[in-house]
Structure 1
Amino acid sequence: MKGRNGLVLLLLVLGIAVASYLFWTQWQKTEGMPDGLILANGRLEGDRYTLASKFAGRVEELLAREGDDVHKEQVVVRLDDRQTRAKLEQARSALEAAEAQLAAARKKLGILRQQIPLKIDTARADVAHAEAALQAAKSRAHQTRKDAKRYRELTKTGAVDRYAADQAELAWEVARADLATAMAALEQAHKRLAEAELGREEIHAREQEVAAVAAQKRQAAAALDEAQSVLDDLEVKAPVAGTVTTRIVDEGEVVSPGAPLLTVVDLDRLYLKVYVPEKEIGKLRLGLEARIYTDAFPDRPFEARVRYIASRAQFTPKEVQTPDERVKLVYAVKLYLEENPDHRLTPGLPADAVIRWRDGVPWEPPRW
């Protein structure tokens, strides 16, 4: 009887001890974080980029798949480019032809610019020579006319014979013919000068032709650039260094413009989006230190900083655990990881965060 009572007493003591321990551990968990630390939780997210093509086409090569790391400007999808390459060659040939035409037109213009001034100078010299010849012809005509008149008078008095008078008359007739010829020569010289000066208009017309051919060359160059741009856009490149998280297409599929092909997440720019209660948000400011804990690495906290604080409150999102919490007003806060060693963390992982808003408070792991 005494032994049975002793066993009952022992079990009672053990029960009290276990109950005390459980109470103590539960009290420790529910005690909350020290003043200076704020506890929050959420899921890891990252800057997500959905890659698409600007043009329709058939997927020729798929150069990246889920889980592949890609660097910035790396080609990840290549569409069929045979038709575009043919258009590119056509545009290149058109540009070469336009360049040849422009070179020939410029050469002709250069020759004209040298020839026309020479023709004008020559024509002016001819005019000057004709004017001088006309003046000489006028002088000879005037003198021979005087001589013929004087010989006629002398013939009447018998001072000279008739032959001398006839020779004077003949000289006057020749001088008048030379005068008419000199006048005609001067007129022709002026016409040649006017014709030579029209060369300036020819230069102007040739300049306009060069400008038109130059415009054609620019148009051909623009067509070549456009074809090259389309060809470049048929290669879809990663906008940032990151990891492919989603692949939507396979090789051989025909895609439409803007259709999503791959999703790339920058694993070096991950952040934990948490929701802080309205009564706690006043303690936070940008740049505060934080530590992030995950179930995958429970003993490895990851350093982070507060980089974003929402300016407006909202009701707690539905994914938060309890209905009571979902009716509270909270503020979204983003905690950007300082680093992601070996890219261990990926978007979608649930995580807890401890934010230190008061300097000097020792860090403690999260306690819910």
Structure 2
Amino acid sequence: MPKSLLLLLPLAALVGIGFFAFHQYAAPDPLAGIAHANGRLEFARMDVASLYAGRVEEITVSEGQFVEAGTVLARISSQTAEAQLSEAQAGKAQLEQTVRRAQAQIEAQRQQLRTAQMEADNARQLFRDNLISQAELNTRLAQRDAARAAVQAAEAARNEAQAGVGQARAKMAQVSSVIGDLSVRAPQAGRVEYRLAEPGNVLPAGGKVVSLLNLNDASISLFLPAPTVNQIPLGSEARIKMDGLDAVFPAKVTYIASEAQFTPKFVETAEERTKLMFRVKLQIPADVAAKYQGYLKGGMTATGFVRTDSKLAWPANLQTRLPQ
């Protein structure tokens, strides 16, 4: 091989290395001004509990099942509440019978009062005509007053019984409400994550029955260093890419931790996990999460992107692109 060619080979190698280095380091970074980190998709979780103590009679849902708001999740039996309802019903029936008897007594006493009033009026006329004595008139007036008092007593007894009926009805409504609350219902639509109780379990008041995921409340948490977090305003636009899903979801920064913490085990590298970082929550809009809930699953690994320069345009590969 000619010496001139041998001299050109190292030169060509240097040119190639220089060309590679130029494109590797001099070319603009497509993610310049954009912080990114990995995380896992999470849904807001709600533990649905029983208001009252009792034995679990039935769990009506399965783990992973989607439920609408108001769906019965479990039924709790309570012999105490059922006994109280039966007692209130019996008391109400008895008091209603007392009211009917009192009303009949009032009618009878009113009739006697009318008769006594007529006799008292006649006695006054007879007394004016000097046909009866003062003592006889006083007797007739006393009989009228006694009849009037009897009517008032009967009315008081009826009113007391009616008040008792009202109290019994209120007690029945209260106990019926308790029994209604023994059917534990979903406060919102969502997916059952775990059954936290099974038939036969005895729960205290506030005992948890199932955990429910709100599929409209989807987010991921990133862990970023302080210099980066300081450049991210709350409410900033963000993007989320799910691993294995050809889509870019819009998001917003809805929370930035005020204190640093060690990052969870699933975050990138052991070196990153030893650093104190700030948690940043990226929230997918509720309407988007609701529409694409079939694609979004709790625990999916994802990468979140947040601009540290709000004036910077999103690159083409981070433009919103939802599943088709």
If the TM-score is normalised by the length of the shorter chain, which range does it land in? 0.7 to 0.9
Deviation of 1:266 after TM superposition, in Å, equals 0.7
C-alpha distance 65-192 of structure 1, shift in aligned 2 (>3 A): same
The secondary structure found in structure 2 opposite 1:343 is coil
Match of 2:249 among 280, 286, 302: 302
Runs of 4 or more, structure 1, over 6 Å off, are 26-29
2:21 & 2:71 partners in 1: Cα distance?
57
Question: Which amino acid in the other structure matches residue 302 of structure 1?
Answer: F
Deviation of 1:193 after TM superposition, in Å, equals 1.2
C-alpha distance 201-83 of structure 1, shift in aligned 2 (>3 A): same
Q: Which runs of 5+ in 1 are unaligned?
A: 138-181
Match for residue 75 of structure 2?
78
Match for residue 184 of structure 2?
236
Deviation of 1:120 after TM superposition, in Å, equals 5.7
Question: Which amino acid in the other structure matches residue 69 of structure 1?
Answer: F
Q: Is the Cα contact below 8 Å between 1:308 and 1:334 reproduced in 2?
A: yes
Greater radius of gyration (CA)? 1
* Identity fraction in percent: 24
Bigger shift: 239-248 or 193-202? 193-202
2:111 & 2:25 partners in 1: Cα distance?
107
Query: In the alignment, does 2:156 pair up with 1:208?
Result: yes
Bigger shift: 260-269 or 326-335? 326-335
1:38 & 1:110 partners in 2: Cα distance?
88
Match of 1:255 among 172, 179, 202: 202
Q: Is the Cα contact below 8 Å between 1:56 and 1:254 reproduced in 2?
A: no
Question: Which amino acid in the other structure matches residue 149 of structure 2?
Answer: E
Match for residue 65 of structure 1?
62
Deviation of 1:353 after TM superposition, in Å, equals 1.6
Give the structure-2-normalised TM-score: 0.75
Match for residue 196 of structure 1?
144
C-alpha distance 300-189 of structure 1, shift in aligned 2 (>3 A): same
Question: Which amino acid in the other structure matches residue 114 of structure 2?
Answer: L
Q: How many matched pairs?
A: 306
The secondary structure found in structure 1 opposite 2:188 is coil
After superposition, the C-alpha distances for 1:159-197 in whole angstroms (9 at most, x for unaligned) are: xxxxxxxxxxxxxxxxxxxxxxx32xx322222212312
Match of 1:245 among 190, 193, 197: 193
Bigger shift: 83-92 or 48-57? 83-92
Q: Which runs of 5+ in 2 are unaligned?
A: 319-324
1:325 & 1:99 partners in 2: Cα distance?
73
More helix by share: 1
After superposition, the C-alpha distances for 1:191-217 in whole angstroms (9 at most, x for unaligned) are: 221231234433433333223323322
What pairs up with 1:131-146 in 2 under 5 angstroms?
A: 131-134=127-130
Match of 1:292 among 237, 240, 246: 240
RMSD: 3.8
Match for residue 313 of structure 1?
259
